[in-house]
Amino acid sequence: MFKTVRTHAVLIGLVASMLAGCSRPVARSPQADSGADSLAVGPDRQVLAKVVPPDYVVSILNASGGISSWAENRRLHAVGVIKLYRPDNSFYLTEHDFEVYPWSNAVRITASEPRGKFAWKMVAGRYEMLEGSAAADVSPLAGLYAAYADAFLQIVTAPVRLLDPGNQLHHEPVPFRMNGQWYERIEVKFGPGTVAVEKGGQTDTQTLQPYWTDGVLFLNRASSLIDMVWLSNVSRQEYVTVRGYDYSDVEAIGIRVPSKVEIFRARPDSTVQDRLAQIDIKGK
């Protein structure tokens, strides 16, 4: 299961006021050093001050644990048993270590493979290989590191991504039936993100373009959770669908996140094609 590094922040202004439509921010008190991990931060109060979430976003946040619980979760850690699928539907079995940073829109993944250790990260849409060489990777994931990592990040942190100020959302409240369940669509145009960078001993911000340009979030009406996301980058002709299953109880870590994730290739019309990966989080 996911384990969390949490901060019991002092919330300036009532969280309930924000969720009722008030523009007063959720703020955090100065935090102790979190293992010198610059990505393990809470929400930016200045950014949240500009966000007035619509009712459907409030419902999604509440169903997944609530904004105050998400605000306390700076870093989520999990180890997953991974099946990486080949075109003939055979699979390569491995394990990945995931570090998810909801409020930095970031994920770091490490894997120990036959030819060595591999580590890579996505931060606000920017991909970086930290250790290992793609040429040495014998797994079917070679060449798909960025899409795999960001798809996993999007489904795990879907409620927080609804608060990203650069994203444009369009909610279609008319329900439709899919796989025996009722859903609503939330179309999203992904906007630029920002990351903190160190320059001459001072912290500055850098604007980054998103990895995905467009997406559709599928809101399950029964659970009020986003349990499927279609992601698209038209310029690269890259399309994937990611699904989440077996969501954790709020009592476990304060928020609800999937214990199983599947990633598929998809078509421009969001039709699912072949499976790329199945991720089963250990210790459910």
Per-residue pLDDT tens over the stretch 140-165: 998 899 999 999 999 999 999 999 98
Number of domains in the chain: 1
Do residues 232 and 243 make contact, with C-beta atoms less than 8 angstroms apart? no
Which pLDDT score, from 0 to 100, does residue 186 have? 98
pLDDT digits (tens, 9 = 90+) for 193-247: 877 665 666 667 788 899 999 999 999 999 999 999 999 999 999 999 999 999 9
Query: What pTM was estimated for this model as a whole?
Result: 0.87
Task: Return d(Cα 240, Cα 231) in angstroms, integer.
Answer: 5
Bridge partner residues of 3 (DSSP): 77
Cα dist. 222→185, 217, 248 in Å? Answer: 14, 15, 16
Do residues 219 and 159 make contact, with C-beta atoms less than 8 angstroms apart? no
Which pLDDT score, from 0 to 100, does residue 24 have? 30
Which pLDDT score, from 0 to 100, does residue 130 have? 96
Q: Which residues constitute the domain of residue 138?
A: 3-281
Q: Which of 221, 100, 80, 209 is nearest to 158 (CA)?
A: 100
68 token code pair: 């105050």
pLDDT digits (tens, 9 = 90+) for 190-207: 999 877 665 666 667 788
Task: Return d(Cα 233, Cα 214) in angstroms, integer.
Answer: 7
Residue 119, Cβ density class (10 Å: 0-12 exposed, 13-18 middle, ≥19 buried): middle
182 token code pair: 């009722």
Which pLDDT score, from 0 to 100, does residue 252 have? 75
